[in-house]
A and B are shown apart, each in its own frame.
Chain A
């Protein structure tokens, strides 16, 4: 099999305003795999997620991001979305006055490049709302406007489910959630696991991994992945803390997958 990996990040170096954040990060995600990327605050996890989605503030100084074998570095965020990349934001932005329904509809149209029939739209959304335990009235609220932390994260998962991306990057989707919300969101993510889809879970804590078992775990420190392993690694991490990995950060380690 010579199939291209879904996502292949190669020796990525990224700066914000000349300050280097990512310093040679490499990572490969294949379709059907769930990867967890763990690391302390400031290690560059969110930077990676924004770079995958094409945030204009970040400058890529070196390296390559291949999605389905093609470089996406020159693609606009909307083109990446249409290609099949989705980012669930750590801090989703409010868009007052724009209903969730209108936003989702526009997003589906954008990703597909064609209008979505009303009937199909309603059906898709209804099914997913039910799965996430969200009332229908949610659709009439304004995007993230006055949402609780849990509602924001649910909306991110709802968007992922409706848009059906090939690669879903979930940035700290567990942060700010109480245990019940965490369970619902985790179930939402689990239901999106499929042989066609790659998932990259970015998380600070191990607790989300109690509900979602990843195929691979990577530890990120100071802009690089310093250890990669299986789900076991997360438990080791919980026991040792990130301190134990810091000393290894001088020697970059490539992924095992």
Chain B
């Protein structure tokens, strides 16, 4: 009885303008595409690394060759990755800047357009900006330095803090963990290293921003965060890339160590363009009374596979994963969490919220494991999926391995379509269909957004609005 008005918006248009731009290629070093042992050696040589790291890389490269491709999540997309077309190492500038003025003009302009220096001035305690393979800018508040906080890009950390890196690097996520952790360990470059000394509480967040600029780029940053006893830190990472017709690969490894009674909050707002494979391994250990929280916002990319984990190793340790995934047309977000209870009185909470639009596909894949003796452990898993259109898809693959009787485990999953009744209710109050839909979606992710620092909450809402354009009809 009525004609539905369908706004025509090109979804990629706004991404292209705001994030999808690219700068001319100016490189001081660009390895040839494809991967062999020679490239691995070259990367290590370029960085003047100690011998142990080169050996580490070479072993990892062998693991990468031997390890099979995962035969789950999305094998069609995984098997279409052209490893030979990827550039594994790209250095865009000789010198890293301590001030933005020292950063080459193109790169500086990129980060200015992404709002990084502005955010830094307003509310960050430190910033690291990575462009392709290398960190190009780094800063931290002087006060934190005085308190002994270390915040470096990983390459510099390897030079300046070799003992601590050698001691912890790859201990939480061994190279052989999976094909992509092996690849990262072989060719890693950039990423962050943070050490927060005993009892130091870093009030303002530290942020890293990862930018891919070149076509067919592979970005393999490596991050290690250690919060010593009773220390607290919040780390935020953001990432974007230009829109290209050929694929890029982002494969990070992130290791977190929360010593007794420490607290680490790791926030990701990922916003990759739709030609990026995002295959990331993230894992934390939490010792007695420690807390690790992963807040994971997954927007964009072609295929994301990411399951942040917390190994609860000491009595009373607590882990939380709170994630939001948004899959638009032809995108697949396969995300989830892994909680391993290996001590008594440990608790974990997994909250997964996913939105599928058009032909977008989201999957929740999770593991809760409780070892014998982890008595009085508690775990709550909640997955909510929202489907915007008829052809949208969502699946849940929850796994529970509970080998201890005295535990409390809860699991709840809901899948809902944006209801005609919800839409009609909002529209009867004067909201246009697109506005009504945006409002419902924003409400759906509210439990996630309200956990973010205000500036990021605003940003995330804006990103979701961008994704929502053209979702009606």
**Taking beta carbons and an 8 Å cutoff, which residues of A are in contact with B?**
53-60, 73-78, 80-82, 86-87, 89, 92-98, 102-103, 106-111, 142-143, 159, 163
Q: Is the CB of A93 within 8 A of B422?
A: yes
Given known A82-B430, A97-B442, contact A110–B435 (CB-CB < 8 A):
yes
Q: Which has the most chain B C-beta neighbours within 10 Å: A107, A108, A159?
A: A107
Number of residues in B with C-beta < 8 Å to the partner? 28
Contacts of B442 in A (CB 8 A): 97-98
- How far does the alpha carbon of A45 sit from the alpha carbon of B324 in the complex, in Å? 41
Counting CB contacts under 8 A, is B439 at the interface? yes
B420 at the interface (CB under 8 A from A): yes
- In the assembly, what is the distance between CA of A106 and CA of B439, in Å? 9
Contacts A55-B424, A76-B4, A103-B439; is A110 near B431 (CB within 8 Å)? yes
Q: Is the CB of B427 within 8 A of A97?
A: no
B419 contacts chain A at the CB level, 8 A cutoff: yes
Instruction: Let me know if B444 is at the binding interface, CB within 8 A.
Output: yes
Number of A-B contacts (CB under 8 A): 102
Chain B residues with CB under 8 Å of A76's CB are 2, 4-5, 427, 432-433
Closest chain A residue to B384 by CB distance? A96
- Within 8 Å of chain A (Cβ to Cβ): is B445? yes
Listed by A's residue number, 15 A-B pairs whose Cβ atoms lie within 8 Å are A53-B428, A56-B1, A56-B2, A56-B4, A78-B428, A80-B428, A89-B425, A93-B419, A93-B421, A95-B425, A96-B444, A96-B446, A98-B442, A106-B426, A106-B431
Given A73-B1, A76-B5, check contact A98 B420 (CB 8 Å). no
B419, closest chain A residue (CB): A93
Pairwise interchain contact B424-A81, C-beta atoms closer than 8 A: no
Cβ contact within 8 Å between A107 and B431: yes
* Complex CA–CA separation, A160 to B444 (angstroms): 25
Q: Which residues of A contact B3 (CB under 8 A)?
A: 74
Complex CA–CA separation, A93 to B416 (angstroms): 14
Contacts of B473 in A (CB 8 A): none
> Which among B422, B426, B442 has the highest number of chain A CB atoms within 10 Å?
B426
Chain A residues with CB under 8 A of B439? 95, 98, 102-103, 106
Interface: B39 (CB within 8 A): no
Q: How far apart are the CA atoms of A139 and B350 in the complex, in Å?
A: 29
Residues from chain B with a CB closer than 8 A to the CB of A107 are: 429-431
A58 contacts B1, C-beta separation under 8 Å:
yes
Q: Which residues of A contact B103 (CB under 8 A)?
A: none
Report the minimum CB–CB distance from A111 to chain B (whole Å).
Answer: 4
Chain B positions within 8 Å of A109 at CB level? 430
A60 to B428, CA, bound (A): 18
A163 engages B4 (CB within 8 Å): no
- Bound together, the chains give a CA A78 to CA B432 distance in angstroms of 6
Among A89, A93, A159, chain B packs the most CB atoms within 10 A around the CB of A93
When the two chains form their complex, are residues A103 and B429 in contact, meaning their CB atoms are under 8 A apart? yes
Residues of A within 8 A of B421 (CB): 93
User: Could you tell me which B residues sit within 8 Å of A by CB distance?
Assistant: 1-5, 419-422, 424-433, 435, 439-440, 442-447
Contact B429 A81 (CB under 8 A): yes
Please, which residue of chain B has its CB at the minimum distance from the CB of A94? B422
Bound-complex Cα distance A94 to B440 (A): 10
| Complex alpha-carbon distance, A251 and B4, angstroms | 37
Are A56 and B424 also in contact (CB < 8 A) when A76-B4, A98-B439, A98-B440 are?
yes
Instruction: Name 5 extra pairs, CB < 8 A, besides A54-B2, A95-B426, A97-B442.
Output: A78-B430, A81-B430, A95-B439, A96-B444, A110-B429
Beta-carbon contact of B431 and A95 below 8 Å: no
Q: Which residues of B lie under 8 Å from residue A96 when comparing CB positions? A: 443-444, 446
- From residue B473, how far is it (CB to closest CB) to chain A in Å? 12
Docked CA distance A77–B1 (Å): 11
Task: Output the least CB separation between B472 and chain A (Å).
Answer: 12
**What 9 A-B pairs are tightest by C-beta distance, nearest first?**
A110-B430, A97-B443, A97-B446, A98-B443, A107-B429, A81-B430, A111-B430, A77-B427, A93-B425
Q: Which residues of A contact B2 (CB under 8 A)?
A: 54, 56, 73-76
Residue of A with least CB distance to B450? A97
Contact A87 B428 (CB under 8 A): yes
A66–B444 alpha-carbon span in the complex (Å): 37
Residues of A within 8 A of B422 (CB): 93-95
By beta carbon, the residue of chain A nearest B425 is A93
What residue of chain B has the Cβ atom nearest to residue A93's Cβ? B425
Q: How far, in whole Å, are A53 and B433 apart by their CA atoms in the complex? A: 14
Contacts of A86 in B (CB 8 A): 428
Q: How far is the CA of A93 from the CA of B422 in the complex (A)?
A: 6
* Given A77-B424, A93-B421, A163 and B443 contact (CB-CB distance below 8 Å): no
A59, A103, A110, A111 pick with most chain B CB within 10 angstroms: A110
Q: Which chain B residue lies CB-closest to A87?
A: B428
| Cβ A106 vs Cβ B435 within 8 A | yes
Known interface pairs A56-B424, A59-B1. Does A97 touch B444 (Cβ–Cβ under 8 Å)? yes
In the bound complex, residues from chain B placing their C-beta under 8 Å from that of A56 are 1-2, 4, 420, 424
Point out the residues of chain B lying under 8 angstroms from A73, CB to CB: 1-2
Residues on B with C-beta less than 8 A from A98 are 439-440, 442-443, 446
Q: Given the complex, which residues of B lie within 8 Å of A106, measured CB to CB?
A: 426, 429-431, 435, 439
Given A56-B1, A110-B435, also A78-B443 (CB < 8 A): no
Interface contact B429-A60, CB-CB below 8 Å = no
Complexed CA–CA distance, A109 and B430 (Å): 8
How distant is A134 from chain B, measured CB to nearest CB, in Å? 18
Closest Cβ of chain A: how far from B269's Cβ, in Å? 18
- In the assembled complex, how far is the CB of residue B213 from the closest CB belonging to chain A, in whole angstroms? 36
Report chain A residues within 8 Å CB of B429: 78, 81, 103, 106-107, 110-111, 159, 163
Q: Which residue of B lies closest to A91 (CB)?
A: B421
